[in-house]
Each structure stands twice: as C-alpha cells, then as structure tokens.
Structure 1
Amino acid sequence: MARVYATSSQYQEYTGEAPPTDIDVRLRRASALLDAQVFRLCRYDVDDTGLPTNAVVAQAFADATCAQVEWGVQVGDITGAAGVGWDTVKIGTAELGRSGTATSGDEAPGRQIAPAVWDALRSPDLTPDILWIGAVMTC
C-alpha cells in the first residue's frame, strides 16, 4: 500500500490556501514521487507501515509533500503530461515550441522536485541521528 505523508489539513496549514478538490490524489502522487526520487535515498526510522516514527522527520516529510503538491498546483501539471511532445503551439501572436519527439514527461515541471522540498528536508532540526539524506545502505 502506498504511503501518504501529508493530509489535506496539513496542506491547508502549509499553504494557507484551501486544498484543491482532488487533494487526496495529489498528496498520494506527490508522496509516491518523493518516495521514488528522494525518501528512498534517506535513512530514517519507520513504523510497520513504512512511515517515519520520529515526529520531526514526519513533519518534514509532510511539509515536503505539501510543497510538492503546491508546486504542481502552481505549474499546472501533476503527472508530467505537460512534458510530452508538441512541436509548436500558437495562440494569437504568442508562439511556443519544443521538440515533438519527447515521449516521456520526466522533464516536465510536474515531475521536477520542488525547490521547497529541499528546504523542508534541510531544516537544522533534522540532525543526522534522525534523518540521513543520501544514505543508501544494505545490511
């Protein structure tokens, strides 16, 4: 079962804004993205469900998740679909272009890690004894 690191009320508290109507989907997707690209590369204590047991780490992960969702809201893309191929788009006198051969949305803004995610994970309260970023180990 997928872990979700933040709630809609935490999102509202973090942003000061009412959550989008699909906030649960966005929180789940942001949590999965951060799991795949950031959290899996960290060392921290977890409970039976894989969630952080330390309250400071849990709050940092919630803030990071909210930051990622907020980023998706701001850039208008939560899936990476905005990065998939189009050559030229013209609206009135404005014209935008990019490669139409892109088949992956990995470079799309919605698939990028929000800068505020790193702010949340660089808190001085996150000492190496409770969170170690980049600590991939095998036992």
Structure 2
Amino acid sequence: MGRVYATVAQYETFTGVSPAPPDTAARLAKASRMLDREVVRYYVFDKDSTGMPTNTILAEALATAVCAQVSWWAELGGSTSGADAVGWSTVSIGSVSLGGGTTAQSGDATPARQIAPDAWDALLSPDLTPDIWCRVVWS
C-alpha cells in the first residue's frame, strides 16, 4: 500500500461534511496514488521511514491537495466519471438533449482523471519554497 497523504478526519474538516461517505478512505488512497504518479514522483523531499514528508508545510499541502481531489471527484460524480461516456455524441433525457463529439477522448482525458484546480492551488502554494521541493528528478 502506498502513501496516503490525508486522513478521513482531514477530509471532513476540508469539506465540512461529517461523517464522510463510507468509501472516503479508499478515495483518499486513490487520490494519493494519482498525485504520486502525476506530480510528487518528480520531486525529492525529506521523508520519514514510511515515505511521508517530514516538512509540515509539505505534508499539509499534500493533505489539502488529496482532499481537494476527492472533493472534485464528488462534484463530478466519481473518480472515473466520464470514462463510461467516452464515445457518446448525443444524450437525451426526456425533453432535454445534449450533444458533443467526444469520440476521440480517452478515459484518461476525462475531467475526473485530471488534477483538480484546488489540488493544484495547494501544490503550487508560495509556501512550498524550493528548499521544501528540493529538486526535480526526471525519471
């Protein structure tokens, strides 16, 4: 199991929703893996023996980013929202009809597979100075 940067209690504080939905711990783990894959793996920072950041500013920023990602998924309707709709061009519900050419969109291009704007805000905080995000490592 990889690092999980936020707890259910942090998510409840972030969203103001208590109790959090039953699957929140799993979503926090999934969001942590996503941020590790998309952002965190490119940086070297001080870690404890479990791989968690030792700098409290970075730890708080990662927790906020993970909570923001999970909250974003809740707004979108799920962490894979949109993947099931790849390829639709017209959807009708009653008298409402929506159309769009998304046939070229892959599951990874759906909004739920993108980093949430509020997560980016946390990760790009001016408090995260270069001495915290030590250096870029290209893998």
TM-score, reference length from structure 1: 0.86
Mean CA deviation greater in 100-109 or 87-96: 100-109
**Partners in 2 of 1:116 and 1:128 — Cα distance?**
21
Partner of 2:43: 42
After TM superposition, list the pairs within 5 Å mapping 1:1-139 onto structure 2. 1-18=1-18, 19-80=20-81, 81-99=83-101, 101=103, 104-132=106-134, 135-137=136-138
Q: Deviations over 1:39-75 (max 9, x none)?
A: 1122311122221111111111000000000000011
Q: Secondary structure at the match of 1:106?
A: helix
1:82–1:113 CA distance, 2 compared to 1 (3 A): farther
Mean CA deviation greater in 8-17 or 103-112: 103-112
Aligned-residue offset at 1:104: 3.1
Contact kept? 1:85, 1:100, Cα under 8 Å: yes
Contact kept? 1:42, 1:135, Cα under 8 Å: yes
Contact kept? 1:82, 1:108, Cα under 8 Å: no
TM-score, reference length from structure 2: 0.86
**Partners in 2 of 1:4 and 1:82 — Cα distance?**
27
Q: CA RMSD in A?
A: 2.1
Q: Which runs of 5+ in 1 are unaligned?
A: none
1:94–1:7 CA distance, 2 compared to 1 (3 A): same
Mean CA deviation greater in 58-67 or 75-84: 75-84
